[in-house]
Structure 1
Amino acid sequence: MNIRQIHPEDCKAIIEAASDWWGRPYSSDMFSKWYIEHFQDTCLLAEEDGKIIGFVMGFLSQSKPNEAYIRIVMVAPSRRGKGVGQALYKEFFKRVGAAGRSIVRCVTAPANKNSIEFHTRMGFIVEPQEQELDGVPVCLDYDGRGGNRVLFKKGIVSSTYEGSL
């Protein structure tokens, strides 16, 4: 497995992979060239034999100078549970730690129990909320469009990274 930065020319292949993995067309502004141009250092792609097997897209917070945010992570269904997501997250942690960030945040849907378990195994804590659904703290209307989310937070240690940031 090779992990590298995502480049703008990867957009089409990422959209195709995401749509294939979801079983329906998947679109997001994050998959656009402008997003990758502006957040390229924290957008990572996992490949094997020239094929995309996973990716993570995140950014360094402009408002909270000690934080980074993981916006989306996807792993090919055939590769889930085989360390791809873990490898992507570890590389993301290295890069944002080298940029002086000590906190990483991310969210998932309350119904996505596999994601909740994955993040907990990766050392994230579920942030307390006023509401709970099925025993899980949930931020209601997280996105302003009615979407409820489980909020995660992880402390990381700054490290030396050999790449560019």
Structure 2
Amino acid sequence: MKLRYIETEDCGAILEVASDWWGSNYSSDMFSKWFINHFRETCLLAEENGKMIGFIMGFLSQTKPDEAYIRIVMVDPAWRGKGVGRALYEKFFKNTEVLGRNTIRCVTAPRKKDSITFHARLGFSIEPQEQEIDGIPTCLNYDGRGGNRVVFKKLLHN
């Protein structure tokens, strides 16, 4: 498996697979050339024999100078459970650490139990919230559009 930066010419291929890999309709402005032009160092793609098998997209916080945020990660369903996601996260951690960040944040939906378990295995902790869904601390209306999310935090150094 090869990890590399996402390039602007990869945007079309990402758009083509995003909904299938996500399991429902998925579209995002992040899958665009402008996002890659501005956040290239925190956007990585995994390939096997020249075929895209996963990607991670994030950015460095402008407001919190010690933090980076992982916005989206997708892995080809045929490659899940084979270390692709872990490799992408670990490379993201290294890249953001070099760029002076020590805290990584990301979210997932409370119904995505496999994602919650995966993040815990990578050393993320769940941020406390006033509410819980199915016993999991959950930020209600996280995105301002009604989306509830489990909020994760990982310190690269203690």
TM superposition score normalised by structure 2: 0.96
3-state SS, counterpart of residue 105 of structure 1 = strand
Contact kept, 8 Å, 1:140 with 1:149, in 2: the verdict is yes
Contact kept, 8 Å, 2:22 with 2:74, in 1: the verdict is no
- What is the correspondence of 1:53-132 to structure 2 with a 5 Å cutoff? 53-132=53-132
Letter in 2 for 1:20: D
Q: CA deviation at 1:49?
A: 1.0
Contact kept, 8 Å, 1:70 with 1:106, in 2: the verdict is yes
Q: CA deviation at 1:23?
A: 4.7
Task: State the 4+ residue runs in structure 1 displaced beyond 6 angstroms.
Answer: none
CA shift in 2, pair 1:137/1:25, >3 Å: closer
Deviations 1:4-55 (A, max 9, x none): 0001110000111212323554310010111111001100000001111000
- Matching residue of 1:163: none
Within 2, Cα distance between the matches of 1:56 and 1:30?
Answer: 11
Q: What is the number of residues matched between the two proteins?
A: 157
Deviations 1:109-131 (A, max 9, x none): 00011110000000000000000
Deviations 1:95-116 (A, max 9, x none): 0000110000000000011110
Structure 1 unaligned runs (5+)?
Answer: 158-165
- Matching residue of 1:148: 148
Contact kept, 8 Å, 1:17 with 1:52, in 2: the verdict is no
RMSD: 1.0
Structure 2 unaligned runs (5+)?
Answer: none
Contact kept, 8 Å, 1:124 with 1:154, in 2: the verdict is yes
